[in-house]
Amino acid sequence: MRIGVLALQGDFEAHRKALERAGAEAVEVRTAEDLDTVDGLVIPGGESTTMLKLLRAEGLFERLARFGKHKPVFGTCAGAILLANDVRSPHQESLGLMNLTVERNAYGRQIDSRIVQLRGEEFSEPLEAVFIRAPIIRGVGPEARVLMEYNGDPVLVEQGRHMVATFHPELTADSRVHNRFLEKVRQG
């Protein structure tokens, strides 16, 4: 099982290490050929506008949308924005792999970034959630499952084979969120 980490820009190295800690083989993905060799893909944190420009310029946008029709994709922060089908503040294009409405930079600027402890139905032990200039998920479709909330807003959501977090599990030593994604990849 090989997991790709989209390495156009952002904290892809942190994700690669987090996946390796969780026992997976992780490779960086920068081209369509790289994408063909992986069973699942992580879209990391970073700047969604930068990633979007590079996806478009390199002809990867459609390839990624097609990849997501058959294989699991996990997006954190900027990655969550790219996976949604409705992006606001300001509006921008996205892959639309999940039925989500996402508002960018919704907590404010860097000074409003924060670390909080969260629990969820399947996370009885508290999970450290690092929010950095994070987006807020303003709405989810009926097919989505909210796994964790913060201040009443969904922050960890899955829909079919895909999953998003508006925080950064890759910046902590806790592997539970990555393990959940690896389980999805195992199931195909």
- Asked if 77 interacts with other proteins (CB under 8 A), we say yes
CB atoms within 10 A of CB 27: 14
- The kind and range of the H/E element at 186 are helix 176-187
CB of 159 to other proteins, least distance (A): 24
Q: How many residues bind other proteins (CB under 8 A)?
A: 35
User: Smaller CB distance to other proteins: residue 65 or 116?
Assistant: 116
CB of 122 to other proteins, least distance (A): 25
Which pair of structure tokens corresponds to residue 72? 């699991």
Active-site positions read: 77, 168, 170
- Asked if 108 interacts with other proteins (CB under 8 A), we say yes
Among 18, 19, 38, 171, binds other proteins (CB under 8 A): 171
- Asked if 36 interacts with other proteins (CB under 8 A), we say no
- Asked if 109 interacts with other proteins (CB under 8 A), we say yes
Query: CA dist 46 to 9, 77, 78, Å?
Result: 6, 8, 6
Among 20, 23, 113, 126, binds other proteins (CB under 8 A): 113
Query: CA dist 4 to 75, 93, 99, 128, 139, Å?
Result: 12, 22, 23, 24, 28
Calpha distance 155→72 (Å, rounded)? 18
Question: Contact at 8 Å (CB) between 44 and 80?
Answer: no
Calpha distance 175→181 (Å, rounded)? 10
- Asked if 75 interacts with other proteins (CB under 8 A), we say no
Provide the binding-site residues for other proteins, judged by CB under 8 A.
Answer: 7-14, 30, 45-47, 49-50, 53-54, 57, 77-78, 89-90, 104-105, 108-111, 113-115, 130, 132-133, 168, 171
